[in-house]
Structure formats: C-alpha cells, structure tokens
Structure 1
Amino acid sequence: MRFSTRKLLPGLTVALMASAIAVSTTVGARADADDAKRIFKEMSDYLALQDHLAFDFDTVLEVVSSEGQKLAFASSGAMEISRPDKIRATRTGGFSDVELLFDGTTLTLFGKSVNVYGQIEIPGSIDHLIDELRDTYQRPIPGADLLLSNVYDELMPSVTDVKDLGSGVIGGVECNHFAFRTEDVDWQIWIAVGDAPYPCRYVITSKQIDTAPQYTVQVSDWKTGGAAADFVFKNDTDAEKLALDKLPDLGELPAQYSPEGAK
C-alpha cells in the first residue's frame, strides 16, 4: 500500500496539536524543579568521580539556510577521557573525518580526510582546554558542557525554568528526562536511571533564531574504568602540519552551509 504524505500531514498536524495541548496542561502539575536539579547534580557528581570514561556518540546539527529552510547534518564518533587533563575524540561525518587529541599539554587537530594537522600548546586541564578553544580560538567542542569537571555548577546558575518530563528510553536505556531554559538557549537532557546516571541524550535549542535550530548528541556504549589510551599524536600518515588558523574547516557542516552561508 502506498501512503500519501499530503494525506498524512493534516492528521499528523492534529495529533501534534493535541500532544502540545496535553503537555501544556499536565507538565506544570508534575514538574518538580528540586527533584530535577537533585538528579542532575547526581549526574554531575557521578561524572566528576570517573577518572577514565569512554563512549560512542551520534550527533545531529541543525542549521537554517538563507532561504529559511531547516537542514540537519549527522555525524558519529567516539570519545575517551582520562581526568584531569587527557582527551581523545574522533568524529566522522559526510564532510569531514577528524581526530582531536590532548595529552595535558599539546592539543592536536587532525583532518584525516585531507591528511593535515595542527597543534597548539594549551597546558592545563580539560576544563581549561574547553574554555580556551571556545573563547580564544573560536573552535568550541559541541556538547563540551558535559565534559567539564563540575557540570552542575557550570550550567545550573543560568537556568530560569525547569521541567520534569518524566521517563524516556534512549537506546534501550530508561532515563529521567528534564528540560531547562536559560535566557539564550533551551536544553534537554536524558539521564540514565540507576547507579550510573550518565547523560544519554543532550539537546540544545537556540532561542536566537526564529526557527530554533538544535544540536543533539546521543551517547551509547558507555564505559568507565579500564586502561587509558595513548593520547599523544603520532603522525603515521605523513600528514602535513599547518598553523591552526590555516587548517581547513573541520566542523560538521559543508562549506555552503558554514556560518557565512547560513541564516
């Protein structure tokens, strides 16, 4: 049987409107801001206690084109962290294949698909690295908020509204689902239920653009403990070394939808 999108859309619109009405009338009654903050604090404390952790992730980055069309670009990757000062991450998408390594002193960005890399000295912790990449080099790590050593103290002060949305299931894992609002962004988080309250999904929604594009990162294959990997870059492919500001764009967008071409 063939289905017509044109026939399905009116029914879908009605269903979405009904869902919106249901949420608006029931969430307020079940929201418990104190409980949501408590569980989020438990997640923050749990993450801070993990000396070594590793996980896989999938991301979806939404942009709005100059024609006002919302577009989404997907990537996948893996990350390994050894606190307080080592990180290794890979990300593969349709437009780049990137590896990031930090050994506590040297940060390396390696563009595998173009076989070039750049290095800078940023001695310090992972927290310091995240701040420097965002503020000094304008190369923020998407979703890096959750890698900080004290997620709660970094994110909660700017929150103006909290909603407890009950339970959800992400990748077969039961999660507590919360929504938080700040002046600039809305964000949602799904936190695994149980003794390992890790973040299963994190969604950041812009409030500065009318069509509200989002960035979503979903976590899988969560692991803690074990032996740490080697976080030192080895140039096994004879990649060309470039100054960091000369590296090609290693982000998640094709060139035509870079910030210069997006709305």
Structure 2
Amino acid sequence: MMRTSRMLVNLYARGLTAATLSCMVLLGTSMQASADETDAKRLLKAMSDYLVAQQAISFDYDAMLEVVTTDEQVLALASSGAVTLNRPDKIIATRSSGFADVEMVFDGKTLTLLSKNLNLYAQEEVPGTVENLVDELRKRDRPLPGADLLLTDPYETLMHDVVDVKDLGSGVIGGVECDYLAFRTEEVDWQIWIAQGEQPYPCRYVVTSKLIDGAPQYSIQIKDWKAGDEVAATDFTFMPPADAKKVDLKNLEGADELPKNFQTGEAQ
C-alpha cells in the first residue's frame, strides 16, 4: 500500500555524506541571513499580476507526483501534457503518462474528460469560470496541472498561511534564467522559479508535503510558454472521437492520477 498527496518531495538527505551535510548547514545559515523577504514577495506579486493580465495562455509541461510506500520507498510518477487557457471560462488540458492519456475540455458550461487510450469520455455540467472548475475538480481528486497558477489571484492563493519567505537569487530552468523563491507554511514547503524579464511566467513549481513521512513532492516544469496574441486560436468545443463511448464520470477509467496497481493508504 502507498501513501500519497496531491500537493506534495523527497529531499534525498539520507544518502548524503557528513561533509555534504556540513556544507548544507553552513549554506543554510548564509541563505537565511541574506534572504530578502520583501523582494521575494515583490517578484511573486509581479508574476501573479502578469498572469492575471493575460487573456490567453498556453504552455507544455512535465510533471512529477511522488508517492511513498509503507516501507518508506519514494516512487515518482511522471507525466507530460499541455494547457491552453482563455479567460475567464475556457480551458483544454492534456496529461499523458505510462498508464493514462487524458484530455479535459471546458467551455464555460460543460466539463468533458476523455480517456484517449480507452476511447471513453464523460461529461458533466459545471457552469462558471475556470476558478470554479478548479474547485470542482479538486473535490473529485482530478486536479488541473499547476492549478494554483491559473486562478484569478495566484498571489493571494500562494501566500495563504505562508510563515517564511526567502529570495534565493537565480537559477536556470530549461535554458531560461529565473528568480528562485522559497516559501513555507505549516503543512507544505514550496518553491518557484520565475522567468526574468518582461514575461515573468512560472518556469518550475515544487510543493513538498510536511505531513507525510518521506516528504513526497509534486513538481511541474513549464516550457514553450505563450501568452496573448502568441496563443493559437483554439476551439473549445468537444467533438467525441469515432466510436467513443460515453460513460458516467464516476465510471470513467484510464483517467486517474495513480495506476491501478497502486493502492493508496492513509497518510502518516
């Protein structure tokens, strides 16, 4: 059996040498002393304002969801996909992994989930905005990739219950130089890398659980970012593939976050 979380990282500290750990202690002291909380908040707010100002957004992504077995082995489930968003109420998101190939279409009224590999689809009326859709999908344990970054006020959502903020300088993600920020709450630690320049979009977002043994993480790395006029015109009308079978959402197979051979248990 396995324990898992949707907002989840293994820091891999157990295998580090004593010398490496001593360096980490010294580095940690230096980073804490030099962290600029005000600047970190400013950079995060600038990213949030930029995202909210975009009427249309599209990007590709690679994601990793870690699960922890009862014998404390950390396993990582990898997936890739793409997202196209038109504010306020249209989105298409895909997710492909070794056990699922899923497309989600939302046109402001109807949510459609298509299990491509099984040629099954389900539909449900969910009128409202993308933000309302995010809430509904979370209730069903079917989260959108990077959902926190797609809301109408990412800054408010991300900063909720934050008790510690660090500006850690810069890093490079996929060849893009980014500002590197780290935040802590009582339940999770999270990090974000934000592209420098006129388009401060999120390049990488990592959330680490503090409530589950093994500290599993969820991470998403964003690439091929486009916004505004760069986004290709998209039809958000769902057309079922030939011979596709419609089923109830609760009976839709091949669209879960975990493969069938994974049995989830209680977090400890």
Structure 2-normalised TM-score? 0.89
- 1:200–1:15: structure 2 CA closer, same or farther, 3 Å change rule? farther
Per the alignment, do residues 97 and 11 of structure 1 end up closer, same or farther by CA in structure 2, a change over 3 Å counting?
Answer: closer
What do the CA deviations read for 1:54-112 (whole angstroms, capped 9, x no partner)? 11000111100122100011111111000111100111111100001101111111000
Counterpart of 2:172 (choices 169, 173, 187) is: 169
Match 2:88 to one of 77, 84, 100: 84
Structure 1 residue aligned with 2:48: 44
- CA shift at 1:15, angstroms? 5.2
- Ranked by relative contact order (alpha carbons within 8 Å, sequence separation 6 or more), the top structure is 2
How far off its partner does 1:41 sit? 0.4
1:248 pairs, out of 245, 253, 258, with 253
Residues 133, 92 of structure 1: alpha-carbon distance in 2 compared, 3 angstrom cutoff: same
Q: Is residue 219 of structure 2 the alignment partner of residue 216 of structure 1?
A: yes
1:231 aligns with 2:236: yes
Match for 2:226: what amino acid?
Answer: K
State the secondary structure of the residue aligned to 2:207: strand
CA drift of 1:182 comes to: 1.0
Residue ranges of structure 1 left out of the alignment (5+ in a row): 1-8
- In structure 2, C-alpha distance between the alignment counterparts of 1:177 and 1:246, rounded to whole Å: 42
| Residue 183 of structure 1, CA deviation | 1.6
Of residues 148-157 and 165-174 in structure 1, the stretch that sits farther from structure 2 once superposed is 148-157
2:90 corresponds to 1:64:
no
Query: What is the aligned partner in structure 2 of residue 114 from structure 1?
Result: 118
Separation in structure 2 between the aligned mates of residue 30 and residue 245 of structure 1, nearest angstrom: 50
Contact in 1 for aligned 2:48/2:153 (Cα 8 Å): yes
Q: Aligned residue pairs: how many?
A: 254
Given the alignment, which residue of 156, 159, 163 partners 2:159? 156
C-alpha distance in 1 between matches for 2:15 and 2:61: 34
For 2:130, the equivalent position in structure 1 comes to 126
Partner of 1:5: none
RMSD over equivalenced CA pairs, Å: 2.0
Contact residue 65 and residue 262 of structure 1 kept, 8 A:
no
Partner of residue 9, structure 2: none
Secondary structure, in 3 states, of the residue corresponding to 2:31? helix
In structure 2, what residue type is equivalent to 1:245? K
Using the size of structure 1 for normalisation, the TM-score is 0.91
Alignment-mate amino acid for residue 225 of structure 1: G
2:262 equivalent to 1:257: yes
Gaps of 5+ in 2: 1-12
Mapped to 2, the partners of 1:17 and 1:127 lie a distance apart of 42
% of aligned pairs identical? 56
Q: Which stretch of the first structure deviates more once superposed, 214-223 or 138-147?
A: 138-147
**What is the CA-CA distance between 1:210 and the residue it aligns to?**
2.0
More moved, 55-64 vs 157-166: 157-166
Q: Which residue of 2 aligns with 1:100?
A: 104
Q: Report the Cα offset of residue 142 of structure 1.
A: 4.2
Q: Which amino acid aligns with 1:233?
A: F
